[in-house]
């Protein structure tokens, strides 16, 4: 029998640390990158000690972010392969957005939206790393032709845009579904939350508990 | 230079101060009368107080072998066979001062690259952040970034001399008079005379190099083979700002910014229309309610009142 105090551990301290290190570095990389993307945001360079410092720091933020993201992605990759029930969920994406709760098919530890976003992030991060190295002055850019670098800056900006937009959705979704934020801050979610939003995962962990 | 005379300024989306409009100037390099003496290179170093490190002879006359932060102009020597004869085509390479400068378009730092109303494109190194975008933007591969200070450098067209009514140092020094300086119109007129002369001497493809793909340039060449600019040490046939740079620094900038705004606004509108998802329990059954619905709102209100 469930009760209010019955909480489930969704993220271990190590997983939470890893997530937030990536999040902080993402913030630094995103703001320093946006500063150089549009002149209207050039004032953001003041946060990093001026234009030249922003240019110097940005690639280091990005490289370290990639490193920690890689660990995070490897940690969670197993939970993010799309299953058949995920496609059913995707078919009902409209009901998810509007909030027709009765019509939303059950999902596991992550829903298909989270899984798709996971893979979008993986590909964006890879693209950002490769193109970022190609335009990283003064260390690596000399090894690539100007034509390649022209393509690299465009792809870098494009994948950064997709990633930033994706993270905005990620942050909003965490706020939207009450109780989610707690999962990544304290590690715990309520058993009700698990059953309501991730019923197959809930069944899975309940099953495990029975065998203990 | 006077700050009232700015045609364009990097990373600036509003109008520049251009109340005063200077006549358009141009440097005309008559390749057909250049003897390759490199006096222009020396004059450039002298006037601008530049000193290239002593390098190596790489087996050709080009020395130094390439442009650098200390060499803003270099002579490039090409040996080609045209009309069954060996021709030594010598081109003084350096910034072309495009009317539509790719470097200025690509630069993310406000005011690091400035185009004066007389057409001179000038780098303001104190605003340069060393990103190298100007190198990607330039269709002529001109800007060079210093290893020492990470700032971009190139020919200024001696903007400091031009400002006080002097011709650029290279023009002043050229012993054969192959380099001319004046208003762009005058330079075009003079080029016409030179081209007519070359044509009368059998160079029927002689012409002016003032590429329209970059809106014309404020450094122009008289070429004996204007139909084949690439003969002259790979002078581009029809230089334009690369389409990827145009896209990246063109529509992508405002659309990208607006797009992120739309995502943020969309999220906010979703929140105020549908609210947040809250979990309720009734007789052991779990439900999800939206706080923008009556039942969800009631759950939230109860929870808040319990707290207070």
pLDDT tens for residues B199-253?
Answer: 999 999 999 999 999 999 999 999 999 999 999 999 999 999 999 999 999 999 9
User: Cα A48 vs. chain centroid, distance in angstroms?
Assistant: 23
Judged by a CB distance cut-off of 8 A, whether residue A207 touches chain B is no
User: Is B244 in contact with A192 (Cβ distance < 8 A)?
Assistant: no
- pLDDT score of B83: 83
* Residue B287 DSSP SS3: strand
In order of A77, A84, A86, the CA distances from A113 in angstroms are 14, 14, 9
Chain B residues whose CB is inside 8 A of the A177 CB are: 276-277
Structure tokens at A37: 């993307």
Is the pLDDT at B1 greater than 50? The verdict is no
Is residue B179 within 8 Å of residue B27, measured between CB atoms? Answer: yes
As a whole number of angstroms, the distance between CA A11 and CA A1 comes to 23
B179 pairs with which residues across the strands?
B29
Average pLDDT of the residues in B271-281: 94
Kindly report which listed range (A146-155, B187-196, B233-242, B290-299) carries the lowest average pLDDT score.
Answer: B290-299
As a whole number of angstroms, the distance between CA B169 and CA B173 comes to 6
Mean pLDDT of chain A: 94
Q: Which helix H or strand E contains B194, and what residues bound it?
A: helix B184-200
Q: What is the pLDDT of residues A178-208, one digit of tens each?
A: 999 999 999 999 999 999 999 999 999 888 7
Average pLDDT of the residues in B35-40: 96
Q: Is the whole model's pTM more than 0.95, yes or no?
A: no
User: Is B271 in contact with A52 (Cβ distance < 8 A)?
Assistant: no
Chain A residues whose CB is inside 8 A of the B293 CB are: 99
Q: What angle do CA A116, A120, A124 make, to 5 degrees?
A: 175
User: Is A161 in contact with B260 (Cβ distance < 8 A)?
Assistant: yes
| Distance (Å) from the alpha carbon of B5 to chain A's nearest alpha carbon | 21
Mean pLDDT of chain B: 94
User: Is A192 in contact with B248 (Cβ distance < 8 A)?
Assistant: no
- pLDDT score of B306: 73
Structure tokens at B141: 């591969």
Kindly report whether the peptide bond that precedes residue A138 is cis, defined as omega within 30 degrees of 0: yes
As a whole number of angstroms, the distance between CA B106 and CA B11 comes to 8
Average pLDDT of the residues in A39-49: 97
Structure tokens at B92: 């003084």
| Distance (Å) from the alpha carbon of A201 to chain B's nearest alpha carbon | 15
CB-based burial of residue B14 (10 Å sphere; 0-12 exposed, 13-18 middle, 19+ buried)? Answer: exposed
As a whole number of angstroms, the distance between CA B186 and CA B163 comes to 18
Is residue B63 within 8 Å of residue B54, measured between CB atoms? Answer: no
Is residue B142 within 8 Å of residue B40, measured between CB atoms? Answer: no
* Residue B180 DSSP SS3: strand
**Which residue of chain B comes nearest to A165, CA vs CA?**
B260
Dihedral angle of Cα B241, B246, B250, B251, to the nearest 10 degrees: 160
As a whole number of angstroms, the distance between CA B120 and CA B287 comes to 69
- pLDDT score of B228: 96
- pLDDT score of B135: 97
Q: What is the largest CA-CA distance in chain A?
A: 66
Is residue B78 within 8 Å of residue B232, measured between CB atoms? Answer: yes
As a whole number of angstroms, the distance between CA B123 and CA B110 comes to 11
As a whole number of angstroms, the distance between CA A77 and CA A100 comes to 29
| Secondary structure in 3-state letters for B63-132 | CCCCCCCCCCCEEEEEEEEECCEEEEEEEEECCCCECCCHHHHHCCCCCCEEEECCCCEEECHHHCCCCC
Chain A, 102 to 131: residues with Cβ < 8 Å from chain B are none
**Which residue of chain B comes nearest to A144, CA vs CA?**
B136
User: Is B271 in contact with A169 (Cβ distance < 8 A)?
Assistant: no
For residues A50-83, one letter each, b for 16 or more C-beta atoms within 10 angstroms of the residue's C-beta and e for the rest, the string is ebbebbbbbbebbbebbebbeebbeebeeebeee
User: Is B278 in contact with A37 (Cβ distance < 8 A)?
Assistant: no
Q: What percent of chain A shows pLDDT beyond 90?
A: 92
Is residue A28 within 8 Å of residue A210, measured between CB atoms? Answer: no
| Distance (Å) from the alpha carbon of B300 to chain A's nearest alpha carbon | 11
Q: Could you give the residue numbers annotated as active site of A?
A: 170
Chain B residues whose CB is inside 8 A of the A50 CB are: 129
What lies within 8 Å, CB to CB, of A163 at 6+ separation is A30, A120, A121, A124, A125, A128
Is the pLDDT at B120 greater than 80? The verdict is yes
- In total, the C-beta contacts within 8 angstroms joining chain A to chain B are 135
Chain B residues whose CB is inside 8 A of the A142 CB are: none
**Beta strands, E only, chain A:** 7-9, 188-190
The shortest CB-CB distance from B277 to any of A141, A176, A195 is to: A176
Chain A residues whose CB is inside 8 A of the B276 CB are: 175-178
The shortest CB-CB distance from A153 to any of B136, B274, B290 is to: B136
Band of the pLDDT at A3, cuts 50, 70, 90? low
User: Is B131 in contact with A137 (Cβ distance < 8 A)?
Assistant: yes
User: Is B131 in contact with A161 (Cβ distance < 8 A)?
Assistant: no
As a whole number of angstroms, the distance between CA B217 and CA A181 comes to 58
Phi, psi dihedrals of residue A195, rounded to the nearest 5°: -70, -35
The shortest CB-CB distance from B248 to any of A157, A165, A176 is to: A157
Quickly tell me which residue has 């490193």 as its tokens: A67
As a whole number of angstroms, the distance between CA A137 and CA B135 comes to 11
Q: What is the largest CA-CA distance in chain B?
A: 104
- Cα dihedral sign for A9, A10, A15, A17? negative
Kindly report whether the peptide bond that precedes residue B239 is cis, defined as omega within 30 degrees of 0: no
Average pLDDT of the residues in A1-26: 88
Is the pLDDT at B116 greater than 50? The verdict is yes
Chain A residues whose CB is inside 8 A of the B145 CB are: 137-138
Average pLDDT of the residues in B66-94: 95
Q: What is the pLDDT of residues A163-178, one digit of tens each?
A: 999 999 999 999 999 9
Structure tokens at A120: 């979008």
User: Is B242 in contact with A150 (Cβ distance < 8 A)?
Assistant: yes
Is the pLDDT at A2 greater than 70? The verdict is no
The shortest CB-CB distance from A165 to any of B242, B254, B263 is to: B263
Is the pLDDT at B308 greater than 70? The verdict is no
* Residue A8 DSSP SS3: strand
Q: Which helix H or strand E contains A108, and what residues bound it?
A: none
Structure tokens at B149: 């200070």
**Which residue of chain A comes nearest to B256, CA vs CA?**
A161
Chain B residues whose CB is inside 8 A of the A172 CB are: 267, 270-271
User: Is B108 in contact with A141 (Cβ distance < 8 A)?
Assistant: no
| Distance (Å) from the alpha carbon of B298 to chain A's nearest alpha carbon | 15
Band of the pLDDT at A82, cuts 50, 70, 90? very high
Is the pLDDT at A212 greater than 70? The verdict is no
* Residue B139 DSSP SS3: coil
Is the pLDDT at B269 greater than 90? The verdict is yes
Chain A, 36 to 95: residues with Cβ < 8 Å from chain B are 36-42, 45, 50-52, 54-56
Chain B residues whose CB is inside 8 A of the A101 CB are: 277, 287-290
Is the pLDDT at B176 greater than 90? The verdict is yes
């Amino acid at each position: 029998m469930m009760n209010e105090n019955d909480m489930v551990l969704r993220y271990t301290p190590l997983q939470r640390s890893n997530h937030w290190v990536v999040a902080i570095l993402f913030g630094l990389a995103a703001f320093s990158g946006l500063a150089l993307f549009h002149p209207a945001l050039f004032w953001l360079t003041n946060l990093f000690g001026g234009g030249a410092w922003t240019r110097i720091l940005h690639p280091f933020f990005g490289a370290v972010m990639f490193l920690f993201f890689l660990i995070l992605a490897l940690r969670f990759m197993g939970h993010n392969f799309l299953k058949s029930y995920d496609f059913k969920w995707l078919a009902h994406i409209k009901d998810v957005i509007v909030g027709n709760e009765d019509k939303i098919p059950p999902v596991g530890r992550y829903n298909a939206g989270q899984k798709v976003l996971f893979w979008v992030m993986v590909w964006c991060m890879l693209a950002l790393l490769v193109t970022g190295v190609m335009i990283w002055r003064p260390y690596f850019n000399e090894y690539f032709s100007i034509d390649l670098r022209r393509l690299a800056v465009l792809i870098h900006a494009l994948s950064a845009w997709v990633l930033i937009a994706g993270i905005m959705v990620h942050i909003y979704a965490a706020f939207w579904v009450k109780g989610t934020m707690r999962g990544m801050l304290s590690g715990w979610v309520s058993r009700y939350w698990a059953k309501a939003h991730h019923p197959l995962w809930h069944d899975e962990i309940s099953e495990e508990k029975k065998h203990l | 230079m006077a700050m009232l005379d700015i045609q364009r300024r990097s990373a600036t989306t509003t109008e520049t101060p251009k109340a005063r409009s200077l006549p358009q100037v141009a440097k005309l390099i008559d390749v057909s009368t250049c003897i390759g003496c490199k006096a222009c290179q020396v004059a450039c170093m002298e006037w601008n107080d530049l000193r290239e490190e002593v390098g190596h002879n790489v087996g050709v006359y080009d020395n130094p072998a390439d442009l650098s932060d200390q060499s803003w102009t270099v002579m490039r020597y090409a040996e080609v066979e045209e009309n069954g004869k060996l021709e030594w085509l010598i081109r003084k390479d350096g910034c072309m001062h495009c009317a539509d400068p790719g470097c200025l378009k690509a630069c993310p730092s406000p005011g690091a690259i400035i185009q004066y109303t007389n057409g001179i494109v000038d780098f303001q190194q104190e605003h340069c952040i060393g990103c190298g975008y100007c190198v990607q933007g330039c269709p002529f591969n001109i800007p060079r970034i210093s290893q020492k200070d990470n700032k971009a450098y190139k020919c200024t067209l001696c903007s400091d001399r031009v400002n006080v009514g002097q011709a650029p140092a290279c023009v002043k020094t050229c012993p054969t008079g192959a380099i001319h300086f004046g208003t762009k119109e005058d330079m075009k007129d003079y080029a016409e005379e030179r081209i007519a002369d070359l044509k009368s001497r059998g160079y029927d493809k002689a012409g002016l190099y003032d590429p329209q793909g970059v809106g014309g340039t404020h450094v122009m060449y008289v070429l004996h083979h204007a139909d084949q600019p690439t003969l002259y040490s790979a002078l581009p046939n029809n230089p334009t700002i690369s389409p990827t740079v145009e896209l990246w620094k063109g529509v992508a900038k405002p659309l990208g910014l607006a797009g992120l705004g739309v995502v943020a606004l969309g999220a906010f509108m979703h929140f105020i229309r549908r609210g947040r998802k809250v979990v309720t329990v009734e007789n052991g059954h779990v439900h999800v309610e939206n706080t923008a619905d009556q039942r969800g709102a009631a759950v939230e209100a109860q929870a808040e009142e319990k707290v207070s």
